[in-house]
Each structure stands twice: as structure tokens, then as C-alpha cells.
């Protein structure tokens, strides 16, 4: 059974000036436990599609259905609440809060959800053990390497136990060793906890490890393999 379904999904920018059809008639389904990469050249619509699936952007037409909920029909505040409780995000630029420690960055989502301190502490400890940074929990991002910051970003994405993780070019700023380490962690989480990962990427190292590839061209699905 699919946890994500897109139906005739379209996103057009600058409709009244020079229309840009960033995503065009995309029909896709994703099942629990996938480790999937959305690939294609720059400007093909990868990030736009991820943003539509994650509710960070609204479609011009079409639907995004997540675990039975049509998020395209939700009000803006409802979308924010839905994202908070159902979707984890990992971005190219890490997006950690610099004034917070690694631990505080990870538990922030749980605070927004209203989790009590004991549950937050237990969950954070488990996550930092999984990403191999239990001894760096109290460090601020500026004291950590790019690879370590991205691992913290993965822990943050997992903190709320989301239905799936959307990762937008997560390895773009990492060297080979850090990329390999990050992907090892993600694959282990995928295999041991059945965590669903959907990437947008042009990184061959991610593509090689993905179990399913969705190729976009000019905003359309060119092939699925």
C-alpha cells in the first residue's frame, strides 16, 4: 500500500508572465520502506517535486495524498501541523540553528509537538547513538564538520518519527568520506527501522545505493526503474 501518491501533479511558476512548467502531470506512488532517488539534470523539477510532496509548496493543479490525507486540500496552518507530525526533511545546507547545541536542534521538533522532557531525552540519546555522535550532543554546529552537521540534520528529521524523510541534495556539500558515512547511516535506518527515504539528487554515490530511480526531464517523469 502506498503512503504517498501524486495525481496529475502540476506546478507552474509565473503563470501570468512567462509560464515555467516546473512539474508536469506527475503520477507517482511511494511505498513504506523505500530508498528512492529522484534524478535528472539541474532544472528538471526534482526539488519542486520534493517540495510539493512535502507540503512546502502548493501545486497549481493535481493532488498529493499522504497516508490517505489529501494535503492539497488543507489550509496553510493545517499543512504546517501535518508536516510537523508526518514528514522529516534533510536539506543541502543542513539548516541547523547555530545558537542551539546539536541536542537542542534535534529535540526542537519534539518540543513543538509537545513531548515531555523525559521522552525527548530518551529519543535524542537513541538518535545520537544511531548517527554515531553521542559524544558531540552538546556541541554547537560551528564546532562540527559538514558531515557531522548533516548527520545531526538526519537525526532531527527522524526525531518526530515521521512517515517518511525527504532529502534534497543532502550530499551536495560533503566529501566522499562524509557522503559514504551519511549514506551508510541512512541505509541502516532504512533496513532496521523501515524508514522511508526519498532523495532528490544528481550525486552518483546516492544513485548507486538507491533501490528505485525516478528520472525527471523538463518536469515530467521520463522513466522509473
DSSP secondary structure, 96-154, as one string: --TTS-HHHHHHHHHHHHT--HHHHHHHHHHHHHHTT-GGGTT--GGGS-HHHHHHHHH
Cα 143 from Cα 135, distance rounded (Å): 13
Predicted local confidence at residue 113, as pLDDT = 84
Can you tell me whether residue 76 is helix, strand or coil? helix
pTM of the complete model: 0.92
Q: How far apart are the first and last CA of the chain?
A: 19
Q: Which residue ranges form the domains of the chain, and what is each CATH number?
A: 2-224 (3.40.50.300)
From residue 216, give the alpha-carbon distance in Å to each of 115, 155, 160, 222, 224: 39, 29, 30, 5, 9
Predicted local confidence at residue 141, as pLDDT = 94
pLDDT along the chain (225 residues), means of 10: 94 84 96 96 92 95 96 93 92 90 92 87 92 95 93 92 93 91 92 92 94 96 94
Number of other CB atoms surrounding residue 202 within 10 Å: 16
Amino acid at each position: 500500500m502506498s503512503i504517498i501518491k501524486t495525481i496529475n501533479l502540476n506546478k507552474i511558476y509565473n503563470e501570468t508572465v512567462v509560464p515555467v512548467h516546473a512539474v508536469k502531470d506527475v503520477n507517482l506512488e511511494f511505498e513504506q520502506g523505500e530508498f528512492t532517488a529522484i534524478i535528472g539534470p539541474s532544472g528538471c523539477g526534482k526539488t519542486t517535486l520534493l517540495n510539493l510532496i512535502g507540503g512546502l509548496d502548493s501545486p497549481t493543479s493535481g493532488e498529493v495524498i499522504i497516508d490517505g490525507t489529501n494535503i492539497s486540500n488543507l489550509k496553510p496552518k493545517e499543512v504546517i501541523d501535518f508536516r510537523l507530525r508526518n514528514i522529516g526533511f534533510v536539506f543541502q545546507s543542513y539548516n541547523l540553528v547555530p545558537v542551539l547545541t546539536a541536542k537542542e536542534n534535534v529535540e526542537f521538533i519534539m518540543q513543538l509537538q509537545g513531548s515531555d522532557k523525559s521522552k525527548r531525552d530518551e529519543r535524542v540519546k537513541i538518535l545520537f547513538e544511531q548517527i554515531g555522535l553521542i559524544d558531540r550532543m552538546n556541541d554547537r554546529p560551528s564546532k562540527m564538520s559538514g558531515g557531522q552537521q548533516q548527520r545531526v540534520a538526519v537525526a532531527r528529521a527522524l526525531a518526530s518519527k515521521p512517515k517518511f524523510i525527504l532529502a534534497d541534495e543532502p550530499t551536495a556539500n560533503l566529501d566522499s568520506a562524509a557522503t559514504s558515512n551519511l549514506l551508510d547511516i541512512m541505509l541502516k535506518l532504512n533496513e532496521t527501522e523501515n524508514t522511508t527515504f526519498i532523495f532528490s539528487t544528481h550525486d552518483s554515490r546516492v544513485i548507486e545505493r538507491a533501490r528505485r530511480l525516478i528520472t525527471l526531464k523538463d518536469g515530467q517523469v521520463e522513466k522509473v526503474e
